[in-house]
Every structure is written in C-alpha cells, then in structure tokens.
Amino acid sequence: MSVTTKDAPVLAPRPAGGVVQSFRDSLVVAKRNLIRMSRIPEMLLFGVIQPVMFVVLFTYVFGGSMRIGNSTNPEDYKNFLMAGIFAQTVTFATAGSAAGIADDMQKGLVDRFRSLPMARGAVLTGRTVADLAQTCITLSVLAIVALIVGWRPGSDGPTNAGRVLAAFGLLLLLGYAFTWIGALIGLSVRTPEAATSGGIIWLFPVTFLSNAFVDSSQMTPWVRHIADWNPFSATVQACRELFGNPGVSPSSAWPMQNPVWASLVYSLVIVVVFRTLAVRKYRKTS
C-alpha cells in the first residue's frame, strides 16, 4: 500500500509594483551605461577638457576687458564667470545623451530592451542617470580648476558649505533636466552624428543669450528681457547668490529676484515635460 503525498504548493513571488520595477530597471540600465563609459575613458576625458578650456580662455583672454557693474577688475570677472561656466558645462551633457541614445537606436539595442519585460521609461531614465553621474565627475574637476585660477566663493556676499552644496545641487538638477531634452532629440533623429549636432546647436543661443558670461545690464533692453527670463539665467543667478558671488544687482524680473525658486521650478517643469515626451516617443519609435 503506497501513500501519496501532495507537494506543497510553490508560491510565485509577488510582482513588484510599477514604481519599484521602474526604479530597479532604471538602475540596471544606468549600471550598464556607467560600465560602458568606464571602458571608454576618452568620453570622460574630452568632457572634462572642454569646460577647462572655457575657464582658461574666458578668465585670461576676456577677464580684463569685461565690465561687471562698474568694475573691470579681472578678479571680479572670475568670480562672476564661474557660475556661468558651471551651468554651461552641465547643460552641454545634453549632446552626449542625444548621441548615446541615437547610437543605441541605430545598433538595435533599444529594440532589444523593448522586447524585455521591463518598465518602458527605464531605458531613458537609466541613460540620463548615468549621464548625471558623469556630469558630477566633470563638475568636481571643474570646481578644482576654478579654485586654482582664482575663483573664491564668498567674495561678494555670505556663503557657507551648505549654500555651496545647494548651488551644485541646482546645477545638477538643471543638467539632469536638459539630458531629457537630449533624450528626446536622440529618439527623433536617425544617426548619432545628427544627434550630436541637434543636441548642441540650440544650446549656444540658450547659454550665450543669458547672464552667464556678460552682465545683463549692459545688454539692450529687449535682449536683457529675454536673458532675465531664460531658465539658464535663473540657475546661474541662483548659484551666484549661493556662492556669494552676485557681482551685480539683478533686474526687477521675477526670476532674477527669486532665482533659487525660479531655478527649481524651471528645472522640474523641463523634467516633467520632456520626460513625458521622450517616453511617449520611445514607445512609438521602432
């Protein structure tokens, strides 16, 4: 007489929720991109060299001829300049995001990701997070170079370590927001070369039509009005105040009077809008 026993039922693991799965998948994709970046050190090297060149050129070539308020002292221009260089550096990561995503699209890697049971936005989120990590490294090196050439936080106003870290936080948030613009561009073009051009060409008017490199009070009224309401200018002005390098009195425009809040609002709106558009484009693009 045999005794039959029933196997104990095997309980399948409960599937993770949408947010949890999206977070995990994004980290996996981010890790993949970081490993890829570490195996191509030229990407990081060239990403550091360009902003360092901007620091040296603007400091020593234009420093003695730029007027900040009523001063043409090169030291005043150095302290005025650095917030603009930092902001320009984090936004230029947009081109790398666009080119990287376009390259993955061209090689068919995105199609393979799309066939896997993973969150739809994870591919793009992972890419932008990896680019943010690379931007952190570049920004750290650039800050050291800025200190070497004579940048001094607290030269024109109060500051402390917390305010300086808050300024760099705003810079990274702006950079992260702009990488989503790059993601949308990368999904919208057919080649990495086009993505590189499309990812950087529009940044020049955005960064130069601002208060980053020139005192906006020296501009014609209509140009100054555009510069004062430029989201890029808001972050630059916020960083100057937090660094203790305001240099000049801001205009009466709301973003210049409330630059920290304006920077936060602008960056978060850009993230929400362009992440939504990029994920929608990702779902439709083959």
For the beta carbon of residue 285, count every other beta carbon within 10 angstroms.
12
DSSP structure string for the chain: -----PPPPPPPPPPPPHHHHHHHHHHHHHHHHHHHHHT-HHHHHHHHHHHHHHHHHIIIIITTT--BTTB--HHHHHHHHHHHHHHHHHHTHHHHHHHHHHHHHHHTHHHHHHTSSS-TTHHHHHHHHHHHHHHHHHHHHHHHHHHHHT--TTSSS---HHHHHHHHHHHHHHHHHHHHHHHHHHHHSSSHHHHHHHHHTTHHHHHHSSSSSS-GGGS-HHHHHHHHT-HHHHHHHHHHHHHT---S---SSHHHHSHHHHHHHHHHHHHHHHHHHHHHHHHH--
Is the distance from CB of 172 to CB of 139 less than 8 angstroms? yes
Longest dimension (CA), the chain: 105
pLDDT at position 70 is: 66
Q: Is the pLDDT of residue 233 over 60?
A: yes
pLDDT at position 286 is: 57
- In this prediction, residues 115-124 reach a mean pLDDT of 80
User: Lowest mean pLDDT: which of 19-28, 142-151, 175-184, 238-247?
Assistant: 19-28
pLDDT at position 254 is: 93
Give the integer Cα–Cα distance in Å for 221 and 202.
23
- In this prediction, residues 86-104 reach a mean pLDDT of 88
- In this prediction, residues 226-241 reach a mean pLDDT of 94
pLDDT band for 166, please (50, 70, 90 cuts): very high
pLDDT band for 171, please (50, 70, 90 cuts): very high
User: Lowest mean pLDDT: which of 13-17, 68-72, 164-168?
Assistant: 13-17
Q: Is the pLDDT of residue 220 over 60?
A: yes
Phi, psi for 272 (deg, rounded to 5): -65, -45
pLDDT at position 123 is: 85
Give the integer Cα–Cα distance in Å for 40 and 250.
42
What's at 191, amino acid-wise? T
Among residues 276, 119, 284, 83, the alpha carbon closest in space to that of 187 is found at 284
Give the integer Cα–Cα distance in Å for 146 and 243.
13
> How many residues does the structure list for the chain?
286
Give the integer Cα–Cα distance in Å for 229 and 115.
43
- In this prediction, residues 43-65 reach a mean pLDDT of 78
Domain residue ranges of the chain, discontinuous segments joined by +: 20-284
pLDDT at position 63 is: 66
How many Cα neighbours within 13 Å face the side chain of 159?
21
pLDDT at position 13 is: 41
Give the integer Cα–Cα distance in Å for 209 and 241.
20
Rg (CA), the chain: 23
Report the percentage of the chain scoring pLDDT > 90. 34
Token pair 């020296």: residue = 218
pLDDT at position 236 is: 94
Q: Is the pTM of this model over 0.95?
A: no
pLDDT tens-place string over residues 248-278: 777 889 999 999 999 999 999 999 999 999 9
pLDDT band for 43, please (50, 70, 90 cuts): confident
Q: Which of 27-31, 47-51, 198-202, 206-210 has the highest mean pLDDT?
A: 206-210
Mean of the per-residue pLDDT values for the chain? Answer: 84
